[in-house]
Each structure stands twice: as C-alpha cells, then as structure tokens.
Amino acid sequence: MAVLVGKKAPHFKAPAVVNGGEFVEDFSLDQYIGKKYVLFYFYPADFTFVCPTEIIAFQDKLHDFEQRNVAVVGCSVDSKFSHWKWLQTEKKDGGIKGVTYPLVADNTMTIAENYDVLAGSYDFNDEGEAVYEGIPEAYRGLFLIDLEGKVRHQLVNDMPLGRNIEEALRIVDALQFALEYGEVCPAGWQKGDAAMKETQESVADYLGKL
C-alpha cells in the first residue's frame, strides 16, 4: 500500500455526476487547488450495502464540511450512468437520491490504481492472456488534500468496514488548527481542546494535566 501523505495527490480527469444528476466529462480535483480542502474518498461499488450508508452519511454532514471549506468528492469504478441511476433511486429502494456532491466514475480503474486502493491487478496467464486477479473494485480509501493539492491524511478500510464521518471531520479540524496556530494535536484531540507546541516543556505540561 502506497503512502501518499506528504505527496501531491495523483492528478486525474474523469467523468463525474454532480449536483445529483448533472454529467461532467473532465472532472478534476485541480479545480480546488488554492481554493478548498478536499476530502476525496473511494467506495467499492454502486447499488451495494455498506456504500450507501457512507455516501448518505457524508451528505448528512456536507454542511459541516462546507463550513470548514472542504469539498467532498466520492469515487468508484462504476460508470457515470450507474452513478446517475443510483442518484435517481429513492433511499427506500436502496438508492442515494438527495446526494449533491460529486461522484467520479473511474471506469478504467486508473484513479484507484494511482491512489493504490484497487483491490486487485492485471497479470498474464501461461497463454499470455491478460487476467484480473483480485476484485475489480476499490477499497474504502479516504484522502484529505490541502489547499496546495498535497495529501495530509489517508485511511484505507477493507470493504466490509464502514468509515466514521465524525472522525473525518475531526481530522479536518486538527489539520486546519495545526496549520493556523502552528501547534500539534495530541491523541483524541477535538476542536476546542488544548494542543501542544513541539517542545519538551509543552509536552511535559500537557501530560502533567492528564
């Protein structure tokens, strides 16, 4: 598994569905550089089970992310047409109608490959034929990208393991706090908690209060 933290987020242009039903052919995260932080996450597939719970949970907290100047963007290896259909399907029928943030269509699986969350790879058999080994879907990868387009946090879950959206918000708060105040955030830090300077005295003072 590649560690992308500290590196530029891999560039891509791909189809996406935005605003709950509009097609964009050359969607790119580059549009946010210098303007917004990005929480870019992968999910395995449309019309599945754990995935809609996460997608809708991100939508439910979208206002909180927007207040923090964070754009939320989802991605799977499904087509833009599959995304569109799922977005038109009512929740009571297993759909995600009401989701408004972009869903990227990674048909070629190259975005998942470049972010190193693809759950398989191509190889050649003894007859020289290309075969796919593993599952042609993405693990539940999540990447927090800063204003310069650099990855500052990544998390990758196996497919059965849904993510905690509150934790994603906490990480955003921690990064923005550290960038603004030049202090570091200790274990379990929440917005409003005391932080530390990177000195022995500051650490000792903080630990002495535990």
Torsion 183-186-188-193 (CA) sign: negative
Mean predicted confidence (pLDDT) in 47-73 = 98
Examine the residue annotation and report whether 185 is marked as an active-site residue of this protein.
no
Mean pLDDT of the chain: 94
pLDDT at 209 over 80: no
pLDDT at 21 over 90: yes
Cα separation, 61 vs 166, whole angstroms: 9
pLDDT at 24 over 80: yes
pLDDT computed for residue 117 by the predictor: 98
The two structure tokens encoding residue 87:
């977005």
pLDDT computed for residue 151 by the predictor: 98
Q: What is the DSSP string of 125-181?
A: -TTS-EEEEEEEEE-EEEEEE-TTSBEEEEEEE-TT----HHHHHHHHHHHHHHHHH
pLDDT in tens, 142-191: 999 999 999 999 999 999 999 999 999 999 999 999 999 999 999 999 99
Banded pLDDT at 205 (limits 50, 70, 90): confident
- Annotated catalytic residue within 9, 14, 51, 111: 51
pLDDT computed for residue 163 by the predictor: 97
pLDDT at 126 over 90: no
pLDDT in tens, 82-95: 999 999 999 999 99
Cα separation, 89 vs 145, whole angstroms: 30
Going by C-alpha positions, the residue among 29, 61, 27, 57 that lies closest to residue 43 is: 57
Alpha-carbon distance values, 207 to 108, 171, 195, 200 (Å): 49, 21, 11, 10
pLDDT at 41 over 90: yes
CA angle 112, 175, 62 (to 5 degrees): 65
pLDDT at 12 over 80: yes
pLDDT at 202 over 90: no
pTM equals: 0.94
pLDDT computed for residue 201 by the predictor: 66
Question: CB within 8 A of 139, min separation 6: which ones?
Answer: 42, 44, 117, 118, 119, 156, 157, 158, 159
pLDDT at 109 over 70: yes
In the chain, the domains with their CATH numbers are 14-163 (3.40.30.10), 165-210 (no CATH)
